[in-house]
Amino acid sequence: MTNAANQTYISILEKFFECVDSETLFDSSDSTYFRRLRNEICDALIQLLIWQRSFLEAEKGLDWPYEGFRKRIFFFEKQAREDTDPFIQKQAGLFLARLPFPRQWRWLAQAQDNFGSDSEIKALLKLEKQRIEEKLNKKKQKQYMLRHFCQILKKPRLPQEKGILRIFSLPYLFVNPELLKALNRLYFLYVEPPWGVLFRHAWLRPFSTLADPTLFGLNCEEDAAFLRSQPGILTTSLAHADFLEDDNILDFEKEKRFDLIFNATFDDMARKRHAYMLELLQHPLLSRTTALFIGRGDRRNVDAFKRQIQAAGLSSRVTVKDNLLRQDVPGHLAQCKIGVQISLHENGCRSIYEFLRSNLPCVISTSMAGVNPAIINSQTGIAAPDRDLVRAISKALQEREKFTARNWFLSHSGSTHSSRMLNDQLKAIFLERGYLWQEDIVPLGSSGASRYVANLHYERFRPDFKELLKIFQEQTRLPIPLAVD
C-alpha cells in the first residue's frame, strides 16, 4: 500500500478528532452519515494498527490512535448520558461501542441492550459471528481434545478454593456467556489470546462479565492498556512463549552455515512478512547474507514462497526447510548466527524465545505488536524501526559475540521461571479475593497440543477434564466435536 493511501487513513482520524474538539461532530442529523463515518474510522484503524504499523510508528507513533480516543472519551460519555436529543445520545453511544475508547466493551454491551434492533448493531454482531465461524472452518482438525486449547493448572476445591483454567487457543469457543459462568463457578480463568487483542477482538468481551475477573496474558503494553480499561479484566505480561520449555540440549559448536534464520508459518505470510524479509536481503548491506527460512505450512504456500525467492534472485542465498519436527528445530537454529522476527503482530512470539534459548541474538521490528520490549536488550539483540532494520541486522551479525542471549533466557525466562512468577501473581489474586491457596499451579509449557511439561500432570487432571467436557456439552451447541481423549 502506498504512503499516500496510508496518509488518507491518518487524515480520517485527524478530521474526526478535529470535529470532536470543535464540537461540530453532531451538527449533522443524518444517521447514514454517522454509520459511514464509523465504518471509515474502523477501516482506517484496521489498516494502521494491523497492516501498516511501521508507517503509523514513523508518522504518528503506535499509541497515537489510542491516545486520541482516550483524550476525547468524556465528550462522548457526556453526550451518551446527558444530551436531551435521543438521536445524539444514540449516535454517541454507537461511537463508544464501535471504537477503541476505554471501557469499549461495556459500551458495546449497553448498545446491544439499548439498540439491539438497530441495523448497525445487528450487522456488527453478524460479522462477529461470521468471523468466528470462518476461523473454525479454516481449522484442518475436525475434532479437538480439550487439551488442544485449554489446560487445567489447579484443581478446584470448592467452596473455599477455585481451580485455574488456562485458555491458550481457540478463545472464541468460550464466548457463550452461560458457558463462561458455568466454568467460572469452578475455575478462575487465565486467557492467552494467540494473536493478542489490539482493539479488534470484541468477541472476547464475555470474559469481562464474570463473578471473578479474568486474567489475560498479554506480552505487550498496547494490548494490556486497552484491556485494563475494560471492567472485570486483569492482565499479566506472561503469555505463550514465556513458558518455553527449559530442557534443551544444544550443540553450540555446530558450523554456522547461515547468517540468519527466519522462523514463521508459511500459512500466514502477510502477517509474518516473508516478502519484506526478502526485500531486506536484497539491500546492498546484506547482499552477501545467507538466510534459512523455517516454519510450518501447507505445501502450496511453501511452493509459492520458493517461487518468490527465485523471482527475487535469491535462490543461491536463501534455503527453505518446512514442516520440521519441533524437536529438530534447535539443531537448525544452532547452524545460524542470528534470528530475525518482523511479524506485524503476535502474543508472546515463540520464535524469539527459541532464538534466545539457542543463544541466537535476535533482531526485531519495534512496530511488531505482541512483544514485551524488555526481552530485547543488550544481552539478547536489537529492536529497530523498519527503516533501520538492515543496519540492525548487519550490526548484530558483526557484533554477535558480545550478546549472551542464552544466559539471559536461563536467568529470566522459560517454563520454570515464568510458571513461578505466574503462580505468585495468581496466588496474590486468590488471597485478595478471599479464596484459599493450598496448592500451587503445575508448570506451564508452550509446546505441542498439550501444554503440560510432564504427562503425569495431565493424568492428574483427567477426571477434571471429563467434568469440563460435561459443562461444554450442557451449556452450548458445540461448533466442533470435543473429547477428552
Per-residue pLDDT at 199: 62
Q: 436-460: per-residue pLDDT in tens?
A: 999 999 999 998 767 899 889 999 9
Q: 460-483: per-residue pLDDT in tens?
A: 999 999 999 999 988 777 777 888
pLDDT category, 201, cuts 50, 70, 90? low
CA 98/CA 300 separation, integer angstroms: 37
Parallel, antiparallel or unpaired: strands 150-154 and 163-167: antiparallel
Q: 312-324: per-residue pLDDT in tens?
A: 999 999 999 999 9
Q: Of all residues in the chain, what percent are helix, strand and coil, respectively (each to 5)?
A: 55, 15, 35
Place of cell 476445591: 157
DSSP code, position 300: H
pLDDT category, 419, cuts 50, 70, 90? very high
Which helix (H) or strand (E) covers residue 150, if one does?
strand 150-154
Per-residue pLDDT at 461: 95
Per-residue pLDDT at 327: 86
Most distant pair of Cα atoms in the chain: their distance: 74
CA 284/CA 90 separation, integer angstroms: 56
DSSP bridge partners of 321: 294
Domain boundaries, the chain: 3-131, 139-243+414-483, 258-412
Q: 242-285: per-residue pLDDT in tens?
A: 999 987 666 666 789 999 999 999 999 999 999 999 999 999 99
Q: To the nearest 10°, the Cα dihedral for 390, 393, 398, 400?
A: 170
Per-residue pLDDT at 62: 95
Q: 95-154: per-residue pLDDT in tens?
A: 999 999 999 999 999 999 999 889 999 998 898 888 888 887 877 777 788 999 999 999
Average pLDDT, whole number, for the chain?
93
Sign of CA dihedral 150, 354, 333, 331: negative
CA 163/CA 365 separation, integer angstroms: 38
User: Domain 258-412's class?
Assistant: alpha beta
